[in-house]
Structures are given as C-alpha cells and as structure tokens.
A and B are shown apart, each in its own frame.
Chain A
C-alpha cells in the first residue's frame, strides 16, 4: 500500500484515540476539581490536566489562568490547539477522506457522523452535566470507530497500521497520566492514606476507565503501587503499557510476515515488550518510578519514529 495511505491511517486512529483520552482526562479532572477543598488539596487540577495532555506551554501563551472554563475550551474546542478534541476529529476526518478507499463504510460513517455533529456543538461553553454528556459522546465515537474497525476490516496491513497508531497513542497517554501524577504514587509521602491521595488515585484510574477493573484484579482498597502495577505491568488491562506493547509487537510481526522483512520497528517494540515482561513493580519503584516512565515515553517516541522511517515515509 501507499506510504501516505498507511501514514494517514496511522494518524487517523491516533487522533481518535487522543480525543478519547482527552475526554477521559477532562472527565476525571472535572470530578476531582468538584471535590471540597479539604479533599482536593491545594493542587490545581485543571493545570495538571493541561500537563497530561502535553499542551501546558501553548495554553499559557494564550491564557493567564488555568481554570475550568479556559481549560475545557482549550482542550475540547480550540482550533488553535492541534490536539483539542475538535481538532482531533477534524484531522481524523480529513485523513479519513484522503484514505476513503482503505476504510470500511462503517468506519467512515463513525468519523463523518462525528464531524458533522461536532460542527453543530462547537464554540459552546459547556459546563457540568452538559460537559459530561459531551465527553460521553466523544467516548462513544471512539467506541464506534474501534468497534467498526474490529467488526468490518480485513485483517491485512491496512488494519495493522490503524492498530499501530491507536496502540502507540494509548501507551503514550497512559504513560503521560502516570508521569504527571507519579509523585502521588510514591510510598514515602507524608500524607499516605490521606483523603487527597485516595481521590487522586481513583482519578488516575478513572482517566483510563479502570476503577472497576482495579477491584476485580486486586480485591483490595486503592494502594498506589498496585495502581502503578495495573497501569504499567498488568497484561489484562487494555490500557496498560504491557498490554499495548503486547499488541504492538503482534501487529508489527504481522507486517513483517506479510512483507517478508523485519526492521528497527520490530526490534524496538520487542525490546520494550521484554523489559515490561521482566519488570517487577517493586524494582520499578526502587529504580525510580519517574525515571522508568520518562524512559518509557522516550522509547515509545523512538518506536513511533522507527515505524515512520520504515513504512510511512
């Protein structure tokens, strides 16, 4: 297939995944910010949402204050922000239009429908229940898109590239959430067990839709190292780094088999996968959680460049 087509597909699913992540982050932030100050502590949740989304610098070039209204408007509807939900859907739709022939009708419908709908909702200042409804809608679009892909696409290289984009973005998002909040998960803090931490941990889980999963897996009250274990090493958890890399390796292997050639992308993905496989959460903490996560993020970026070099350029 054309490199440009593969590139478009890769980014198309990355943007859908990114919109989904933003919706989860905003959702979790809104809940956290609405807690009484006694539970919420002094941290500005809206600012940390910006950091998780990786757009804090650009935001403060435009706004003075990271409050509810400004952050929601910037992360959800701002066209100046190339990673806002609106921009993600617009780019996704533009990409979809350029690769119409590689998408199934159902996938096209999911994106095109979302785009038409969003053009009606944009520019509105959403708050409270309206915002929640909007965020639910965004998550439904990504469910529809993923579901259509899973149910209607041929399992060929087209499928592999769209999955690669989604998984790479998903791993990046989970790692970023951990990166911004890692200090809350460290065991040597004064406020361990305090109200603030508890709600922060649950907000982390909520941002990756894992509150219930946590309880099924560990059958315990929230413990910071178990939250980290679930998001980093647990293979059963679809948004964990380990699970994303299991899938990334699988799709890269499928491509290598179809094309009869291995490359840097396969090697990098496998190396990261092995590292996650052999890691133990205690050792991760001993070696430094922050160092582990920042190391992962840069490896993940390196894999993105390798995929680009090998297939998409």
Chain B
C-alpha cells in the first residue's frame, strides 16, 4: 500500500510538489537532531499543559498524550476553499435531512431512503418527531472526516453530527507549532485558526431560544473528568469563557434550566453538550443516568433551552446513512455533491455483500454505529482471525426483515505525507 500511495510532498519522479517547496527545502537544511529535539520539546509542552485523552479499557495509561507529528501537512488556499464549499454544502444537507426525518419525511415518501434506515436506527429519537429545535437548527457543530487520495481528490470518510470532538487538539497543535517553528510560519502564509473560539461563542449565543435575554447564558456540559475527552471540554470552556458544567450543576424548575452558583440559581439558555442523547435526561432516556439533568427534555420541548447539537442528530451520521449522502444532497439542494464519498458497499444489498465477503482482506469494514476506531476492520492490516471474526458478523441472518447492520468502505489507498518518525506516515484522520 505505501508504494502505491500518492505522496503529498514528493511525486513519483522525485520532484517536490509546489505547495511543499519551502518546507522540503527547510527540512533538508535542518540538522536531523533538531527535529528530534523539537519533538521532545513538543511532548514536554503537551505533558505540562496536560493535553491528554483517555483510552477506554486501557488501565496502564489512564491519561495518554495525544499523538502528534511535528511535520506539518500543507493544504493550499485553493484546496481549502474548495473543501470549505463542499463541507458547507454537506452540513446544510445534513440539517435538512434531520429536520425532514423528524418532520414531514418527504425523503422517505419519495422512496430515496429506506424507512428502516430511520425507524430501526438506534439513534432515531421518536421523542423528537414533530418537534423543532430553536431556529430549526439541528447540527450546529459537525465533524466531517476528510481523507485525501491523490492530488485532486478528497473523500469524506465519515460524518459526525452528534457530539464531534477533537478541535482542541487542532488549536493546541497550532499553538505548539508556532512556538516550535516560527521560521516555518514566516516562510508560509498560514491561515490563522485562533478565531475558532470567538466564532463558536458567537454561534452559540446566536442560537439561544427567543425567550432568552439579550445576553444569553451559555454553558458547556461534560460527563465529567473520567470522560476521554475531558481535557477538550475544559479547554473549550476556558477559551469560550463559559462555565463547564456537569449534570449535577443543573436543575430544571417550571421547564426552565438553572445552574447552581455561589450567588444562587442562574438561568441557562444554551447548553453546548458533550454528552450523548441517551444520558442527557434520566426521565426520558436511560433512567440510570446520573450524568444528565432530570426534566431537561421537557424544558427543551417548552422551547426554553437550546441544546447543541439537537437531540436525535445521530440519525444522520451512521455509516449506512453515509452511503446515501450523495442522494440526500441531491434531494434537498438539487445539486451534485461537491465532496465525494469513499466508494462504499452497502452490505444490506446482497450483491454488494457477496463482493465484500469475497474481498475482505482488501477492504475497510465498519460497523454502522461504531465510531472513533472502535468496531472496525482494516483488511490490509488485519490478522486472519480478525478477518474471520468480521466474516461471521457479516453472514446474512436468516430473518428476512433484519436490516444488515454494517456497510463498508473500499480499499482507500490514502496519500502519504512526510512524518518525523517511521510508521506514522500513511494515516489519514480515521485509521
């Protein structure tokens, strides 16, 4: 696979692509121990700031440093502009699809999406049927994973419309890079990212319910310090200048949400929640949840609180819906999708399933509801046992009505990029 992959810096004839010219020059001029030294410096910085994430089920390293490569990946301005338009189109379509699924269900009536993809979807929330969140916006914050396969082609690998995470790593990454490589930044004109938190705060304030005051109160809700992304939650709350709350800090009285403060109860208008639907209100969802706030959904239906993202958005981001995204974009926007999907076989379709079973070692297989690298098979890197395990999972069940739960992406030979250490070079965001 590495041999076939398109390298983002060096073309097959050995020449350097234009975007990487200055970086390549700098790299070849830099003494090798300089890079090693800066890698250490970066790790020290990360450790000191405490940028960690937890890996569930990994007792040894409860708090790990985020993997970080100091060689930058370059995306040119025209490339970024094209991506931007494509991403905006995709998120707009996602929003329209979710509004439709919980509203008039035109796309189902038109026969474009099979009913069971919605109604048998674990992330479908019947509680939201017929409901409209404030401003009819569902996905305020989306995480669209992109991979690159050659000079001109970017694929969307995955849509995250529930509670996407990771933006703090991007922001801290940039901070560290600027500290470690000021000379690289002065040679390139790098688009800044530091406005992210201001824009996020402006967005969050703009979506407050109409009943909120002119100066709405925004909070960020975390499941707590044991959550794998806790560092990010505290980082974002700090950048936004909003309170980082847990469920027990909030309570609902007469369908209004308050937080407990040292000055007494304070009304809350917008909750940027980093906790999944199922845990958010024990009176409606999992009754055993102690992370949520009893009565929150009732306040939500009364229109007194905005939840970011809205409840039920997961219906749009699993891997089965993903394969329909081109049709979804066409249906709502009447336009061709600007960003392509990775070619995908839907295992619910018998012919596709047969192909997949015959070519497992070459394919990436994902469970429809898996995320973050859990519940997937990377054929070319898998052992025989792993492949057989997935083959068993894929065999058609005898029950005629059972919808196949998995779909799969094809062999996506991702591009390679230069990296400071061996073994890290061919990974796109999701592998």
Contacts and interface: CB of A to CB of B under 8 A. Distances in A.
Interface of A: 1-6, 94, 97-98, 100-101, 108-109, 112, 157, 161, 255, 259, 261, 311-313
Contacts of B263: 259, 261
B50 A4 contact: no
B308 interface: no
A43 to B, nearest CB: 44
A169 to B, nearest CB: 19
B238 A3 contact: no
A4 B234 contact: no
Contacts of B238: 100-101
A185 B169 CA distance: 60
Given A3-B249, A101-B237, 13 more contacts: A1-B261, A2-B245, A2-B249, A2-B261, A3-B261, A4-B249, A4-B260, A5-B243, A94-B225, A100-B238, A101-B238, A108-B50, A261-B263
Among B244, B248, B249, the one with the most A-chain Cβ atoms within 10 Å of its Cβ is B244
Question: Interface residues of B: mostly helix, strand, loop or mixed?
Answer: mixed
Given A98-B225, A101-B238, A3 B262 contact: yes
Nearest to A161: B262
B50 A100 contact: yes
13 contacts: A2-B244, A2-B260, A3-B249, A3-B261, A4-B248, A4-B249, A94-B225, A98-B224, A101-B234, A108-B50, A112-B50, A259-B263, A312-B262
A261 to B, nearest CB: 8
A131 B50 CA distance: 30
Interface of B: 48, 50, 224-225, 230, 234, 237-238, 243-246, 248-249, 259-263
Contacts of B248: 4
B126 to A, nearest CB: 33
Contacts of A98: 224-225
Nearest to A312: B262
A4 B260 CA distance: 8
Nearest to B48: A109
Contacts of B245: 2, 4
A9 to B, nearest CB: 10
Contacts of A312: 262
Given A108-B50, A109-B48, A112-B50, A101 B262 contact: no
A6 B261 CA distance: 9
A101 B239 CA distance: 9
A157 B262 contact: yes
B100 to A, nearest CB: 38
Given A2-B245, A4-B248, A109-B48, A100 B234 contact: yes
B353 to A, nearest CB: 47
A29 B278 CA distance: 54
A313 B248 CA distance: 11
A3 B237 contact: no
Contact of B243 (A2, A94, A157, A261): A2
Nearest to B250: A2
Contacts of A108: 50
A243 B260 CA distance: 32
Among B238, B248, B262, B263, the one with the most A-chain Cβ atoms within 10 Å of its Cβ is B262
Contacts of B244: 2, 101
Contact of B262 (A6, A94, A97, A100): A6
A3 B259 CA distance: 9
A98 B249 CA distance: 13
B260 A3 contact: yes
A95 to B, nearest CB: 9
Contacts of B243: 1-2, 5
A6 B224 CA distance: 16
Contacts of B225: 94, 97-98
B44 to A, nearest CB: 12
Contacts of A4: 245-246, 248-249, 260
A101 B242 CA distance: 10
A279 B234 CA distance: 48
Contacts of B230: 97
B50 A2 contact: no
A161 B234 CA distance: 20
Contacts of A313: 260
Contacts of A261: 263
A188 B262 CA distance: 49
A5 B230 CA distance: 15
A313 to B, nearest CB: 7
Nearest to B246: A4
Contacts of B261: 1-3
A144 to B, nearest CB: 15
A259 B262 contact: yes
A98 B227 CA distance: 11
B182 to A, nearest CB: 21
A171 to B, nearest CB: 22
Nearest to A311: B262
Nearest to B237: A101
A115 to B, nearest CB: 11
Given A94-B225, A100-B50, A112-B50, A2 B259 contact: yes
Among A94, A101, A261, the one with the most B-chain Cβ atoms within 10 Å of its Cβ is A101
A259 B264 CA distance: 10
A259 B248 CA distance: 23
Instruction: Give 10 closest A-B pairs by Cβ, nearest first.
Output: A101-B238, A3-B260, A311-B262, A100-B234, A6-B262, A259-B263, A98-B225, A97-B225, A4-B249, A2-B243
Contacts of A94: 225
A312 B245 CA distance: 14
Contacts of A97: 50, 225, 230, 234
A105 to B, nearest CB: 8
A217 B171 CA distance: 55
A313 B251 CA distance: 13
B262 A1 contact: yes
Among A1, A3, A255, the one with the most B-chain Cβ atoms within 10 Å of its Cβ is A3
Nearest to B266: A2
Nearest to A98: B225
A5 B225 CA distance: 13
A181 B64 CA distance: 47
B38 to A, nearest CB: 21
Nearest to B248: A4
Among B224, B243, B261, the one with the most A-chain Cβ atoms within 10 Å of its Cβ is B261
Nearest to A97: B225
A1 B217 CA distance: 13
A261 B244 CA distance: 25
A300 B372 CA distance: 50
A254 to B, nearest CB: 12
B398 to A, nearest CB: 50
A311 B260 CA distance: 9
